[in-house]
Structure 1
Amino acid sequence: MEASLEIEGTWQPLRAELEGVLAPEMAMSKMEFRLQSGRYRVQFGGQTSDEGDYSVTVEPAQIMLTLRGIRGTNAGREIPAIVQLRGDRLRVCYGLNGVRPAEFVSGPGSGRYLVTYRRKQARR
């Protein structure tokens, strides 16, 4: 299956780190990140805070994700990222400074946001 299709779905963060600082569990439990048909949406407590388009590029050594914000906190921004998908876990390292990360690390002053998500199962 093509990587862009494999990452589609609704994801809940398990661990998030902004420039080396861990996000509170309570905030992560209220967040959802959805990727579907070239569109992304971030929701907190059921309210959309960020949405736009995304594209996926697959190279032999890595999968690259690019978000283009249309509405919300990242409107008008392009955010490059790298992606690692293993089973129901999606690891994304975002270059909030506009530079695509080369590795999955987020330290002080790096301009990176590193998140490990778990795929949410559809309700039956």
Structure 2
Amino acid sequence: MWLPESAELAGQQIPMPATRWRISGANYVVVSAESRDAGLLVFGAEGSAATVDLIGTSGPNAGRTIPAIWRLEGDVLELCYDVGGGPRPTRFSGTAGETLLRVRYRREG
């Protein structure tokens, strides 16, 4: 189980809703008070970046593919993707006017 620690949109800290990520093999489930989202994870690499496509199968993102980059350091997982539906990010931080969301999760337990 992964719990959010912080979130940044366009380089600015934003409040993070209380969500829980469960990753089991190539499947994910994200649960919040408002919704439950589930799908598949397809891992890859582009250059030196570790990539993942989040393919929604049920919930608010059903039928949507979200191209992201990720990194794992110990018990900390970072994901970065474009909430505006743009292409896969090439870096883990956005600037004003961009719609890059970076979320930092910590492994529970």
TM-score after normalising by structure 2:
0.85
Residues in 2 aligned to 1:24 and 1:120: alpha-carbon distance in whole angstroms: 20
Q: Deviations over 1:36-82 (max 9, x none)?
A: 1211111114x752111111114561210110011111111100111
Name the structure where helix makes up a greater proportion of residues.
1
* Number of equivalences: 108
Q: Is 1:52 matched up with 2:39? A: yes
**Cα RMSD (Å):** 1.9
Contact 1:91 1:114 in 2 (8 A): yes
Counterparts of 1:88 and 1:95, CA distance in 2: 24
Which stretches in structure 2 are left out of the alignment for 5+ residues?
A: none
Q: For 2:66 and 2:86, how far apart are their aligned partners in 1? A: 6
What's 2:72 paired with? 85
Q: Percent identity?
A: 36
More strand by share: 2
Runs (4+) of structure 1 moved beyond 4 Å? none
TM-score between the two structures when normalised by the length of structure 1: 0.76
